[in-house]
């Protein structure tokens, strides 16, 4: 018996090893950006107007040979290197540079790197900073996903089935990329809903996941190459910064944007607050930039008090000893310490907030919305806004599941983001929230909960599926990586589009479009020729390999396509009849060659057949079957190439789940 189990385990492992895991990434190279530069990096750009001088920080021991900026529509422009001061290169943006968010191409003695979001050339200094905040993106090269449907969000199939028959899987990468894509569209569509995207930590789920950081940079590229800049800070999941400083940005830094200054702090790992050295650095930065409107990004929130308890702390000051005794009872243990062991740091931070009139402090970490308004004794308002997770299904569901309630999480949450405006007079506004302190209400915006972008990049084409449940069409720029020579196929596209430009940048071909994504499910396909090839699909194994009747199990599937797989479902067949259907989820949703899996709550039968059906963007299907009898299994695969697009008007052709009641056979 033991020998058979070992053999079964080895077969499963070899099956997984045979599943392709090639990473397709326009920014994934052997040389990481942070091996050449400390700053700018994809999460911390250099910022200036045409003709301004910007600062470039080389990595230790690296000699910079040339600097160039290029976008899909503009450039290339060579940056004039004016000199070096204390190891920092001073470089001039050309006077004739067209305002845009540029890739920075750096040639050095260590090699060449191309950095998305490297240099933001502003048209003019903004008078209002229109912020789109995301947090806790938790991008992973592994599997981290939940299921959504309208307002509903659950972490498991069995839970979501209580509320919804057609849920949508949201991998952390898909959620992050959807967030980036949406705010790039509404940020550069002429309406100026936002003009910058900020992220407040836990950008990647595991600090040692290099492929995860490469995927994050890909999502950053999709926002910034479309014209909306991005800034991020480090979270505890990015700690220690094994790859963070190579792919995202420095531990802590500041950015000047006209009359505003953004300060990014590192609250570190389990320390959960900045060290005193950082706070002294922050204070010096503010002294050196008088008159600027300060905005601070730090992953761990400062306050413990919640909006349900009032959410307002007022008529106190961190400079008064008696007031501080009241304040520290309302502050988070992460900052103060359970026994007050860090209160000198917490008090110093709040004193800086008061003294330099920091108007907005953005955080994440707790995966739920928590606004706190601190009004000091001088009457100055300081907004502390903590955002729910944008990309991780880890905390409270909507509605809270029994598991959530048992863990003490009772306030509903979802995949969210927020829009916040900061004016040049320091006024802070939440333009799309009626009541920040409403009870039992999700106040974050449903992005990406209700606007989801599934991208697929194959050797013979690129395709994107959109799911728009926002109640209106969304218009703006969209960036696609495409194979050389690929063109939009109108027969496989049902969104409105205009091609703005195409360009090859550092070996990758990009297309910039202006699109209108209608309500419902839609798609765009950019291909070399009409796709007539069916997806290739095979069932790897079940886990556990021999599920008992009624026992939950997972199905692992290997699949690939030349352009992209749009949908995949798994049918459970008993006695020749389909008794249930479930969607299968890609563990690497940006890739056309990937492992898919689904969870079956259980089959009340001694024998059954699992049938997998993969459909591409042209309606071609590949199928595989796995018959289980308790003692033996058989597998078969078939494919059908229709050569016809499945596009059509506003029909719901997304991942569909039709659960049926599984009854034990008599």
What confidence tens digit (pLDDT) does each residue in 383-428 have? 999 999 999 988 789 999 888 888 888 888 999 999 999 999 999 9
Q: Quick check: 468 pLDDT over 70?
A: yes
Residue 345: CB atoms within 10 A of its CB come to 19
Q: Quick check: 634 pLDDT over 60?
A: yes
Q: Quick check: 112 pLDDT over 50?
A: yes
Determine the average pLDDT of the residues in 323-338.
95
Q: Say what the alpha-carbon torsion angle 348, 354, 360, 361 is, to the nearest 10 degrees.
A: 10
For the chain, helix, strand, coil in percent to 5 are 15, 40, 45
Question: Which residue is it, tokens 């728009």?
Answer: 468
Contact 477, 188 (CB under 8 A): yes
pLDDT digits (tens, 9 = 90+) for 617-628: 999 999 999 999
pLDDT digits (tens, 9 = 90+) for 40-94: 999 999 999 999 999 999 999 999 999 999 999 999 999 999 999 999 999 999 9
pLDDT digits (tens, 9 = 90+) for 362-381: 999 999 999 999 999 999 99
Quick one: pLDDT at residue 639?
Answer: 62
DSSP, collapsed to helix, strand or coil, labels residue 406 as helix
**Per-residue confidence band for 652, with pLDDT thresholds at 50, 70 and 90:** very low
Quick one: pLDDT at residue 212?
Answer: 95
Distance CA 209, CA 238 (A): 9
Q: Quick check: 659 pLDDT over 50?
A: no
User: Which two tokens mark 272?
Assistant: 């959960």
DSSP, collapsed to helix, strand or coil, labels residue 43 as coil
User: Which two tokens mark 408?
Assistant: 């003490």
Quick one: pLDDT at residue 642?
Answer: 59
DSSP for 203-246 reads -BSSTT-HHHHHHHHHHHHHHHTTT--EEEE--GGG-S-TTHHH
Determine the average pLDDT of the residues in 27-32.
68
Determine the average pLDDT of the residues in 144-161.
89
Quick one: pLDDT at residue 144?
Answer: 83
pLDDT digits (tens, 9 = 90+) for 205-231: 999 999 999 999 999 999 999 999 999
Closest CA to 146 of 329, 354, 392, 494: 392
Determine the average pLDDT of the residues in 463-491.
97
User: Which helix (H) or strand (E) segment is 297 a member of?
Assistant: strand 293-297
DSSP, collapsed to helix, strand or coil, labels residue 347 as helix
Interacting residues of 556 by C-beta distance below 8 A, sequence separation 6+:
15, 16, 19, 539, 540, 541, 542, 543, 595, 596, 597
Quick one: pLDDT at residue 395?
Answer: 79
């Amino acid at each position: 018996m033991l020998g058979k189990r070992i053999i079964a385990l080895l077969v499963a492992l070899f099956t997984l090893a045979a599943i392709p895991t090639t990473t397709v990434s326009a920014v994934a190279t052997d040389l990481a950006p942070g091996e050449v530069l400390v700053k700018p990096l994809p999460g911390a750009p250099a910022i200036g107007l045409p003709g301004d001088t910007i600062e470039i920080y080389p990595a230790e021991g690296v000699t910079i040979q040339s600097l160039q900026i290029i976008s899909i529509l503009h450039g290339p422009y060579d940056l004039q290197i004016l000199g070096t001061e204390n190891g920092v290169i001073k470089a001039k943006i050309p006077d004739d540079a067209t305002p845009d968010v540029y890739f920075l191409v750096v040639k050095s003695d260590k090699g060449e790197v191309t950095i998305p979001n490297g240099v933001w050339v502003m048209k003019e200094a903004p008078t209002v900073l229109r912020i789109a905040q995301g947090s806790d993106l938790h991008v992973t090269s592994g599997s981290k996903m939940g299921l959504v449907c309208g307002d509903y969000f659950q972490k498991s199939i069995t839970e979501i089935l209580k509320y919804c028959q057609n849920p949508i899987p949201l991998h952390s990468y898909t959620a992050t990329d959807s967030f980036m894509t949406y705010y790039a569209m509404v940020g550069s569509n002429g309406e100026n809903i936002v003009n910058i995207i900020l992220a407040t930590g836990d950008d990647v789920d595991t600090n040692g996941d290099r492929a995860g950081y490469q995927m994050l940079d890909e999502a950053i590229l999709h926002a910034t190459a479309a014209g909306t800049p991005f800034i991020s800070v480090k979270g505890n999941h990015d700690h220690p910064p094994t790859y963070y400083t190579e792919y995202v940005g420095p531990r802590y830094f500041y950015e000047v944007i006209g009359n505003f200054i953004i300060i990014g702090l590192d609250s570190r790992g389990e320390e959960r607050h900045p060290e005193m050295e950082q706070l002294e650095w922050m204070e010096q930065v503010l002294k050196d930039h008088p008159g600027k409107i300060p905005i601070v990004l730090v992953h761990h929130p400062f306050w413990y008090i919640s909006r349900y308890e009032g959410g307002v702390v007022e008529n106190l000051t961190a400079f008064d000893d008696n007031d501080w005794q009241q304040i520290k009872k309302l502050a988070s243990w992460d900052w103060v310490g359970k026994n007050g062991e860090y209160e000198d740091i917490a008090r110093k931070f709040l004193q800086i907030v008061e003294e330099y009139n920091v108007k907005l402090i953005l955080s994440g970490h707790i995966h739920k919305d928590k606004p706190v308004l601190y009004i000091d004794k001088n009457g100055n308002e300081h907004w502390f806004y903590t955002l729910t997770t944008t990309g991780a299904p880890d905390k409270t569901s909507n509605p809270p599941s029994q598991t959530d309630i048992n863990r003490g999480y009772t306030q509903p949450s979802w995949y969210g983001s927020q829009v916040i405006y900061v004016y040049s007079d320091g006024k802070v506004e939440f333009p799309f929230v009626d009541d920040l302190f409403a009870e039992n209400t999700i106040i974050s915006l449903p992005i990406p909960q209700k606007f989801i972008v599934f991208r697929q990049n194959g050797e013979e084409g690129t395709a994107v599926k959109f799911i728009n449940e926002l109640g209106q069409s969304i218009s703006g720029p969209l960036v696609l990586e495409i194979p050389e020579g690929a063109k939009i196929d109108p027969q496989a596209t049902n969104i409105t589009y205009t091609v703005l430009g195409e360009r090859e940048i550092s070996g990758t071909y990009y297309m910039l479009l202006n699109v209108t994504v209608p309500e419902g499910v839609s798609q765009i396909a950019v291909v070399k020729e009409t796709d007539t090839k069916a997806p290739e699909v095979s069932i790897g194994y079940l886990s556990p390999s021999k599920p008992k009747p009624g026992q939950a199990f997972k199905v692992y599937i290997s699949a690939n396509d030349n352009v992209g797989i749009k949908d995949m479902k798994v049918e459970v067949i008993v006695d020749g009849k389909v008794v249930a259907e479930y969607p299968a989820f890609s563990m690497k949703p940006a890739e056309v060659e990937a492992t898919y899996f689904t969870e079956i709550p259980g089959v009340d039968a001694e024998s059954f057949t699992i049938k997998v059906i993969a459909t591409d963007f042209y309606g071609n299907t590949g199928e595989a079957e796995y018959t289980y009898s308790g003692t033996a299994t058989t597998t078969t695969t078939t494919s059908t190439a229709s050569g016809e697009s499945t596009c059509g008007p506003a029909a719901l052709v997304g991942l569909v789940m039709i659960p049926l009641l599984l009854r034990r056979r008599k």
